[in-house]
Structure 1
Amino acid sequence: MKRSQLKNSFLLLLTAAIWGSAFVAQSVGMDYVKPFTFNGVRSAIGALFLIPCIFFFQNRTNSSEVSPADQLNQSAKTLASSPIARKTLFFGGLCCGIVLAAASSLQQIGISYTSVGKAGFLTAIYIVLVPILSLFLKKRCSPLVWLSVALAVGGLYLLSVPDGFGSIGKGDLLLIAGSFLFAVHILVIDYFSPRCNGVALSCIQFFVCAVVCLIPAFIFEQPSLSSILAAWAPILYAGVLSCGVGYTLQIIGQKGMNPTIASLILSLESAISVLAGWLILGQTLSARELTGCAIVFLAIVLAQLPWPPTKKS
């Protein structure tokens, strides 16, 4: 059991590393293609990558051994199940894909106005926003969550408002808005994932995301094959690793894990994005911005800690 927990923790850490370093790929990709084009192509690649994975994992579930396939699939008959199950799967993929397209588009546009490190931390605010949005689902939050919200607000001020009020950058606002939608996306995934095959759901959401992003790309950006080929490396990384591999590893790693521990490990993508921006792009943050990053990260950690239950008399 302990070995399984250690393995799952490693998979989640690897997921955080892939997602954190993907901010570099997203930033570099903007040198060649525009936001909607980048997201549309990467999502299409991610969906195509997951198609053979669905059938591979379904075949593995036919064996009697417990394997990652058993963790990924509740049933090997997901695509050939009842009409109600198929309807839930495709409707869930549609909802997830639309929200993901909006969130990733805001994030991708925002990255072009700020550094990789700041983008990573502002995106990580979704960890704090999720419990707040959960209030609308009649789920109460612990005092630690409210403390984390207050800390996050202070950290965001230091990180995004270096020159006082009124100087919040356009990119910062777009990233914060994208973070809000990523929080919504997490809640939508939380609703549909227990009812659907996880890999199939991700595959459909990426196809929907690709279509939603490519429509404005052809209308406003006029993408060319030459520009896409010039950005093949960051697009391929973001499509195969960030979309395909990252989401698959998350599904495997979270099975059997305490959700608090899983969320905390995944939130390390923000710190990894800062490290990746420094190592690969040579980007740095000021002392004020680093302090804001530290406070935001503390808020993220506090939001994941369990609050001791009150003792009954």
Structure 2
Amino acid sequence: MTIKSPRIALILLLLVSFFWGAEFVLIDLSVEVLPTHTFNALRFAIAALSLLPLLYFARETIEKGMMPKLLGAGLLLGFLLFIAFYTQTEGLRYTSVSNAGFITGLNVPLVPVLAFLLFRQHARMNVWIGVITATAGLYLLTMSDTLALNEGDILVLICAFCFAAHIILTGRFVSTLPVTLLSIIQLTAVMVYSTIAAWLSPDPAFYYPEATPVSWQEQLSSPIIIVSILVAAIFGTAYAFWAQSACQMIIEPHKVALVFATEPVFAHVAAWLFLGEHLGTQGMMGAGLIIAAMLISELGDRKHPPKMEPLDHTAVAE
């Protein structure tokens, strides 16, 4: 399916941002009863299967000798996603959905900073302004009278760093490797890593040690868990990958960045509507600064328009 209307493309991208933001609430409710590694294993198994039909439409060519590099890149990117999604999902057990959404958004200003530190890619002034703004926003959003980040905020901050590293490395791999197959490999890798982690853990795979023991059949028949896994896998990953790839063929990158900056806003609105979360005045100021930092980092230099690769945000799924 080819998208020809810019208006339709913007609507589709806004839906992506909505799904990414809203799924925070569903995941938060699910991980209260289902361990993180098990949730992620199921989520990414379905996500990888959902992308398989795209192989037919993509008609990608695998050149001779490419498969080892493709597998290596997929396993590396998958490991970064595994850490990112584990820390984000686990972090939701200890911090608010609103905090998790806005802190995850810090991956936007972190990308050029990590690119500078890892590969000495030049970071322009707007990037450093964005980092300073984001740091101030993080302080206002998360710091209480104790002047310390809680465990959940720290985990989600690790997630933001992993997403940023994933975006940087993805940009280096997609220029020479088939994107759809690379995506499927790394999503499958996350499923495998999560399954191994759940198996190696001394805790039960389908319930927490302090909870009443239940069978996997009982746990996976829960409507909230079924809906959460399906929404996160199909809409937050498979649909998001297709929509971003298709829409960026006719939409300028700076407009895509502007739409994706609404993700944490959707997360906060969903948390307010369904969980009754409130950021307060200080938290709202911090959230506003983080969004400002995202926009400054992506849109602040008109002479060098931003370049976004497919799957830049499916991990923000996320």
Task: Normalising by structure 2, report the TM-score.
Answer: 0.84
* Identity score, percent: 29
Q: Is the 8 A contact 1:12 1:254 kept in 2?
A: no
Per-residue CA shift, 1:223-278, capped at 9, x if unaligned?
A: 24232332212111111111221222222222343333322322321111111111
Alignment partner, residue 254 of structure 1 = 248
Which residue, out of 203, 220, 223, partners 1:228?
220
Matched, 1:290 2:284: yes
**Match for 2:128: what amino acid?**
W
The residue number in structure 2 matching 1:162 is 144
Quick one: distance in 2 between partners of 1:122 and 1:186?
A: 16
Cα contact 1:49–1:244 (8 A) shared by 2: yes
Counterpart residue identity of residue 90, structure 2: I
Q: Secondary structure at the match of 1:194?
A: coil
The answer as to 2:238 corresponding to 1:244 is yes
Deviation at 1:130, TM superposition (A): 0.3
193-202 vs 151-160, which moves further: 193-202
State the alpha-carbon separation in 1 of the partners of residues 271 and 63 from structure 2: 47
Q: How many residues align?
A: 288
Range with greater deviation from structure 2 (121-130 or 144-153): 144-153
Q: How does 1:290-309 map to 2 (within 5 A)?
A: 290-307=284-301, 309=303
CA–CA distance in structure 1, aligned partners of residues 221 and 90 of structure 2: 20
3-state SS of 2:145 partner:
coil
What is the aligned counterpart of 1:277 among 271, 278, 285?
A: 271
Query: Bigger shift: 192-201 or 126-135?
Result: 192-201
Alignment of 1:104-143 (within 5 A): 104-135=85-116, 136-143=118-125
Amino acid corresponding to residue 55 of structure 2 in structure 1: I
| Structure-2 change in CA distance of 1:196 and 1:4 (3 Å) | farther
User: Which string of whole-angstrom CA distances, capped at 9 and with x for unpartnered residues, describes residues 91-150 of structure 1?
Assistant: 222121111001110111111111111100000000010011121323222212111111
Q: 1:175 is matched with which residue?
A: 156
Distance 1:244 1:309, change over 3 A: closer
Match of 2:133 in 1: 151
The code of the aligned residue for 1:84 comes to G
Tell me the distance in 2 between the aligned counterparts of 1:52 and 1:248: 11
State whether residues 16 and 235 of structure 2, in contact with CA within 8 Å, keep that contact through their aligned partners in structure 1: no
| Inter-CA distance 133–257: structure 2 relative to 1 (3 Å threshold) | farther
Which stretch shows the higher mean deviation, 119-128 or 254-263?
A: 254-263
Distance, in Å, in 2 between the alignment partners of 1:239 and 1:5 is: 26
Shift of 1:17: 1.1
Q: For structure 1, which segment, 180-189 or 299-308, has the greater mean C-alpha deviation from structure 2 after superposition?
A: 299-308
Structure 2 letter corresponding to 1:299: A
Q: Return the TM-score normalized by structure 1.
A: 0.86
| C-alpha RMSD of matched pairs (Å) | 2.0
User: Who is 1:216 aligned against?
Assistant: 197
Give the aligned residue type for 2:283: E
Q: Give CA-to-partner distance per residue, 1:274-310, whole Å, 9 cap, x none.
A: 1111122222212111111111111111111242559
What is the alpha-carbon distance in structure 2 between the residues aligned to residue 10 and residue 290 of structure 1?
26
Q: Secondary structure at the match of 2:73?
A: helix
* SS of 2:53 mapped into structure 1: helix
The separation in 2 between residues aligned to 1:173 and 1:273, in whole angstroms, is 18
Q: Aligned partners of 1:252 and 1:182: how far apart in 2?
A: 22
Secondary structure of the equivalent of 2:123? Answer: coil
Residues 82 and 106 from structure 1, CA distance in 2 versus in 1: closer, same or farther, beyond 3 angstroms?
same
**Correspondence 1:87 to 2:87:** no
Are 1:32 and 1:228, in contact at CA under 8 Å, matched by a contact in 2?
no
Runs of 5+ unmatched residues, structure 1: 58-72
Determine if contact 1:95/1:188 at 8 Å carries over to the other structure.
Answer: no
Partner of 1:18: 19
- Distance (Å, rounded) in 2 between the aligned partners of 1:229 and 1:97: 28
